[in-house]
Structure 1
């Protein structure tokens, strides 16, 4: 036997197994992903709602200015011809669009059939109904807002209406003349203008309805 020879020992080699996730670890990872997704969606929703509110307030102020221009031009505020006209916007949710249709025509000059008591008076014949565009000297002369962004109006069914940042119709009621024995129809002595804004519950209420329950209009953007 060779004295320089040392016997070697054979070592058993076992394949290294990759360590997988345990059930608890998987649940923790899923929970973290769910929380991050919720935070992301929550931030997105918050930003979108803020943008809609900002758009609504900007449009709101523009409409108020246009109404004062209308008063200066014609000596009175416009009055809706179909004050109680209802249109379904989403399944089971209808909105009053009479005021919004009146506002659209009053500020854009596009038609006049939604304006109570208004008739064509120009030499050039004007179309009584709206068509989404301005044409003819009479329509052009009645424009209260020179530029009406597409975010401010939409066509719903057969009606062209003025909308808020939530793509819902603005609400508008002209004050009735104060006469003895008549109940007021508005809070203001001129007109009531509002957007339901974030509110999706009290969409059937009018401004005058909120006098006894002001909390119903707490989410609205309004002029009272």
Structure 2
């Protein structure tokens, strides 16, 4: 199961509002459209129509990720992501942020997660990401295979970047136009080690060059 951008935005918005505004949850269709299209805490900002949100809800209901509740006045919607995807509270917060704001570093996730889940430190976010990235797939390959299996992956670190970013896998292996494919956790870690070693070698090379220049100046001034 791969979700399109509208479906991801609808599901992410439902998860967010359940945690941050429980008194207003479940959401009516109108409230859900507003949540999907809000300007804050969204990247990219979307302009989904009521019809597009309704269509996304229909697909999510087919995947058992959303349920419609009929109250006295209007139908309302709630998500079932934690049950279907077998998520803990910290994992739910991370997946929600990745759905609503795209690939992010562990530091960005910690800074933006305060209303969803209070991580004590970046190491806690890293641990959650690694747990989500290393979940084994279902052995039977059944139709609800998304309930297990890796849900996030580490992206290759762009040149000059200090940290690598993680992306969720509910929308496919590569969600950014022109981005490289996500790396397996082991390969990504090795890539980070190589990048650090290359940076250290570059610093050593600069130091040797400066030392050589100083020695030449001393010899010239004798």
TM-score, length of structure 1 as denominator length = 0.27
Flag the structure with higher helix content.
2
TM-score, length of structure 2 as denominator length = 0.28
Flag the structure with higher strand content.
1
Larger radius of gyration: 1
